Structure 1
């Protein structure tokens, strides 16, 4: 178990989480010019749908590289993110995004059943992301419709 060296406020945890989203949108570069991986603890865990759990910075870097290589552009809608604080190290962010995947563009609510809505559950301690589990539909371009009869009817 790691020793806690400093307490954090909810706003400080939110700023770390927001910086990670902005860095992902900027191709992995933080607002200070550093790497997105600088925001993560050495033993951090990240879950991404259809990828699994990355454990440790090297694995997290591989996950981000794999996912990032499929994206031409991504932009989270920062102004409309819903932030939920637990009174502990946990922060939940729920929002929308848009961009272009190698399979095509996407935007939240275009169509309403498509990609663009997400929810991330962060654990942030000592100004580093210890854990983030990312929940959303990774079918950015909405091509996976054959397996869902209700989509074929539209």
Structure 2
């Protein structure tokens, strides 16, 4: 792990997190035309439900290829983000999204129990993402309903 070279403000950390989300919406390409992987420290970690923990840029690239390969499109709703700062390197962003998975479309709130609500916990230092834990329902198209009898899918 690299030594901390400068202290970042909460807003600077938030800007790195937003750049990551926008790159994800843009097929993995950042606003400067680089790869989303460039936003990560060499020893970064990313957790995604039903995939697990990816450590290092190579595994993170594999995770994004696996997950991204199931998505036709995704759009995060930036105007509705709730950002929480811990006073350290941590930024938590809660939000909503819509898009299309290979199994079908999704939109937060349609229906109320379906995919589209998410929360990401970021650790960002020295303008690099050190860690992201992604919390969401990876059943984007809402196909896994049979195991949940309380869902009214009619």
Q: TM-score, normalised by structure 2?
A: 0.98
**Pairs within 5 Å for 1:57-136:** 57-136=57-136
CA distance in 1, matches of 2:137, 2:153: 20
Structure 2 counterparts to residues 9-48 of structure 1, below 5 A: 9-48=9-48
Q: CA deviation at 1:152?
A: 4.8
What runs of 5+ residues in structure 1 fail to find an aligned partner?
none
Q: Does 1:52 align with 2:52?
A: yes
State the shift of 1:151 in Å.
1.1
> For residue 151 of structure 1, what is the aligned residue in structure 2?
151
| Paired residue secondary structure (2:67) | helix
Contact 1:146 1:152 survives alignment (8 Å)? no
What do residues 11-47 of structure 1 show as CA deviations (whole Å, max 9, x unaligned)? 0000000000000000000000000001000000000
Contact 2:145/2:153 (CA < 8 Å) preserved in 1? no
Deviation of residue 153 (structure 1)? 6.8
Q: Secondary structure at 1:88's aligned position in 2?
A: coil
When the two structures are superposed, what TM-score results if normalisation uses the length of structure 1? 0.98
In 2, are the aligned partners of 1:46 and 1:132 still within 8 Å (CA)? yes
Query: Which consecutive residues of structure 2, in runs of 5 or more, have no partner in the other structure?
Result: none
CA distance in 1, matches of 2:125, 2:119: 19
Please report how far the alpha carbon of residue 2 of structure 1 lies from its aligned counterpart in structure 2 after TM superposition: 2.7
Runs (4+) of structure 1 exceeding 3 A deviation are none
SS of the residue corresponding to residue 61 of structure 2 reads helix
Q: Check 1:40–1:153 CA distance in 2 against 1; reply closer, same or farther (3 A cut).
A: closer
For 1:131 and 1:56, locate their aligned partners in 2 and report how far apart those are by CA, in whole Å. 10
